[in-house]
Structure 1
Amino acid sequence: MEEGNKTSVKEFILLSFSDLNDFQILFFIVILVMYLVCVFGNLVTIILARTLSSLQLPMYFFISVFSALEILFVCVTIPKLLVNLIVDEKYISFAGCFTQLFMYSSFGATECCLLAVMAFDRDLAVNTPLHYRNIMTEELCVELAVIPWFFGSGMGLIPTMFMLNLDYCGPNIINHFFCDLAPLQNLSCSDALSSQLTTSIVAAFGCVGPFIFIMVFYFHIVYAVSKIRSVEGKTKSFSTCSSHLIVTSLFYGTVIIVYIRPRSSQHDKYLALIYTVVVPFLNPFIYALRNKEIKLALTNICHHSFYQWSP
């Protein structure tokens, strides 16, 4: 592929974690286990949320959509990381690199927006409990679940197109485990100022924007809960938000650190591991252990399976 008759790079080399040397096999096993647990855990969450009558509520509908997004999100980067940990030639094609960049950026922005939608759902449930079911109809839930995907696609497409307009003459070595914005910008042999500015604007709009909405919704929730007199009522209201709040805090805690800065650092790939591997691995456990309905559903299924297979 040739861009503006100046791009000579046909492929990129992802260094991944080559600096770990003999520990790469151990690292491969750890990442593989976390990846499989993440995919399996999110699949179980989706199946439970879509099949059990006790979980046919808007909150669990959004959780199932979020779980599906998590599976797609980890599948963009982790399989390639696993391959690079056990092979010597760590290549990715030019087209493959930018496809990965687009999908990763799109799913990341979609997750930011979806977390804001889920915060809105919890705000509505806490502040208008009597009218909640009438407002959050099935049609509205579907519309609110679709919006983040369109939003994320736009947020992923804009910086990717700007990156494609840059020239890549060499070198082609990326000190990361996937094709991310900042490492690619650093490899460009043309002026990347416009691309860096666009990346910062998109990151502010696509990441910080939804975060501000989340904070506003939770301030509204805290204000509403503070007016509840009984301790039991306050605990019940906060318990419906706790899982979402923990997931949001874990995700944004590392994403903001990495993407608010346009320049890359040698530590970015280790920070990226947290929100691309560790957080998706923890999310199914957070929703299962912090949610009484899902925990009860899992317990009932385990008991039923035990008695069915016991002699």
Structure 2
Amino acid sequence: MPTGPAQIRTTAGPLARRRPAHGSSTNSGKPAHPIWPLPELYAALSGGIRDYARANGFQRVLVALSGGIDSALVAALAVEALGAASVTGVSLPSVHSSQHSRDDARALAQNLGICFETIEIAAPVAAAEAALAPLFTGYAPDLTEENIQARMRGLLMMALSNKFGALLLATGNKSEAAVGYCTLYGDMCGGLAPIAGLYKTEVYALSRWINRELGGGSGRGEIIPQNTIDKPPSAELRPGQKDQDSLPPYDVLDAVLRRYFDDGATRAELVAEGFAEALVNDIAAKVDRSEYKRAQAAPALNLSLSQ
């Protein structure tokens, strides 16, 4: 548990910074990624959003609401930071968006009391695909078509940010960014990435804490829809897609990332600790080849300890 006061600064930070030299955590005796008590984490992240927005002259913020856990947490933190009247949530469903995701996004906005807008992206995505069709003839659909959807959302959210002078908050977490499970110029768009320093398991833990302590415990009722917390995470860029189609379960992924990404443990050390060699090699390869994405990410809120 941390012993010093939290310090918040914006930085290219834990995602763009190179990992420590291998063995550094063993040499220092201190974990590279401190675990904060959830109330302090909530206060630090919401305070970081508030300070960054004010320092840069923003009165309003935008959050793209997918119906998933990451955007829900970012929206809840933004409301704590700036008040519900200063936060707008935008749903951007595609042909692959499930009805429960649409419903969860709307329910979250209602629970938070924020302005909620919907922009259907099926038509602009189809227009982009039609424009590219002559050049894509003979090529089977693949990740390219999935990323067109994510980048269309990024384009539209940045247009709203430009038109109304509102700060777009990126909603990516550390687990996904570490292994490149994110889209450049798509879901990575934004002027600040409030939860980029949180692993996915921490996102879930903080979301459950918000519901327990700030929702039910305060008599306000549910804040983050329970279905958002319970359902399997999915980018919903193709039919039936689940995060675990491409990634290990997040508790396993995060355990490896804490050692490899934060502490600088070697692959051999991780295997010796009991992780399967194929798993370690796959995660490490994803981390190493995603450096270029992390280098282009929005500024993160970097939690650190003063000595």
User: Which TM-score band applies after superposition, normalised by the shorter structure?
Assistant: under 0.3
| TM-score in terms of structure 1 length | 0.23
Larger relative contact order (Cα-Cα within 8 Å, sequence gap ≥ 6): 2
- Structure whose alpha-carbon radius of gyration is higher: 1
| TM-score in terms of structure 2 length | 0.23
Q: Determine which structure has the larger helix proportion and give its number.
A: 1
